[in-house]
């Protein structure tokens, strides 16, 4: 008599599972987009920083060339839709490392360090780096939730049929995992 309720109940459960998976996938995509926004901000700040530094650092042409190359490479990988997460991460880490080198070299230029424009750009880049890290943590949290959702029973059966696949986490590179050497 009420046998028609069983297929209806199954359908309702499948709809809820599907909608939950779509919401989780969209949260991961949104989190990745947040990273893109911060990376774009970094790309936009670097030319202004270079213009400010250029007048002071006449002997540091090699550092400026490396920064330009790292920015160009990171932007190329960023714009490549076929680039893997690992390739994007590598390019971004190279750019971040080059920026750190630039800031380390500026220690030799007291006039530059006193420049209000330079200090403001340095603060904005530092803030952007912090936002990139926060965005990556947010992304990883959403990836964890989504990956868990597609791996637990019974959603895993349905997720496989609907071709939902795991996302990769952002992870520290091998160089970032090394102990920091502090020498006095």
Q: Interior CA angle at 67 toward 63 and 72, to 5°?
A: 150
- Of the candidates 102, 147, 108, the one whose C-alpha atom is nearest the C-alpha of residue 122 is 102
Least confident of 17-26, 34-43, 46-55, 86-95: 46-55
Sign of the C-alpha dihedral, residues 7, 9, 14, 19?
Answer: positive
Q: 3 falls in which pLDDT band (50, 70, 90)?
A: confident
Global pTM value: 0.77
Mean pLDDT calculated for residue range 54-63: 74
Q: Does a cis peptide bond (omega within 30 degrees of 0) precede residue 62?
A: no
Of 17-26, 81-90, 101-110, where does the model show the most confidence? 17-26
* Token output for 34: 């947040």
State residue 172's pLDDT score.
66
Mean pLDDT calculated for residue range 79-97: 90
- Of the candidates 59, 21, 2, the one whose C-alpha atom is nearest the C-alpha of residue 155 is 21
More confident: 23 or 56 = 23
Q: 101 falls in which pLDDT band (50, 70, 90)?
A: confident
- Token pair 């637990």 is found at 152
Sign of the C-alpha dihedral, residues 88, 91, 179, 127?
Answer: negative
- Token pair 């059966």 is found at 157
Q: Cα(93)–Cα(121) distance, rounded to whole angstroms?
A: 19
The rounded percent of the chain whose pLDDT value lies above 70 is: 91
H-type helices in the chain, by residue range?
Answer: 5-54, 61-79, 85-105, 110-114, 116-151, 155-161, 174-177
Summarize pLDDT for 138-161 with one digit per residue, the tens: 999 999 999 999 999 989 998 999
What length does the chain have? 184
* Domains delineated in the chain: 14-177 (1.20.1440.20)
């Amino acid at each position: 008599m009420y046998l028609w309720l069983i297929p209806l109940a199954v359908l309702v459960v499948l709809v809820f599972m599907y909608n939950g998976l779509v919401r989780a996938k969209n949260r991961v995509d949104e989190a990745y987009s947040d990273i893109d926004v911060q990376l774009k901000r970094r790309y936009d700040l670097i030319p202004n920083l270079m213009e400010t530094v250029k007048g002071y650092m006449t002997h540091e042409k090699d550092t400026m060339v490396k920064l330009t190359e790292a920015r160009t490479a990171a932007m190329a990988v960023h714009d490549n839709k076929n680039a893997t997460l690992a390739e994007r991460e590598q390019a971004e880490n190279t750019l971040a490392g080059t920026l750190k080198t630039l800031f380390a070299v500026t220690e030799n230029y007291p006039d530059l360090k006193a420049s209000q424009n330079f200090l403001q750009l340095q603060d904005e880049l530092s803030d952007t780096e912090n936002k990139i890290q926060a965005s990556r943590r947010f992304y990883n949290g959403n990836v964890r939730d989504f990956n868990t959702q597609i791996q637990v029973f019974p959603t895993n059966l349905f997720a496989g049929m609907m071709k939902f696949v795991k996302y990769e986490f952002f992870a520290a590179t091998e160089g970032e995992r090394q102990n920091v050497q502090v020498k006095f």
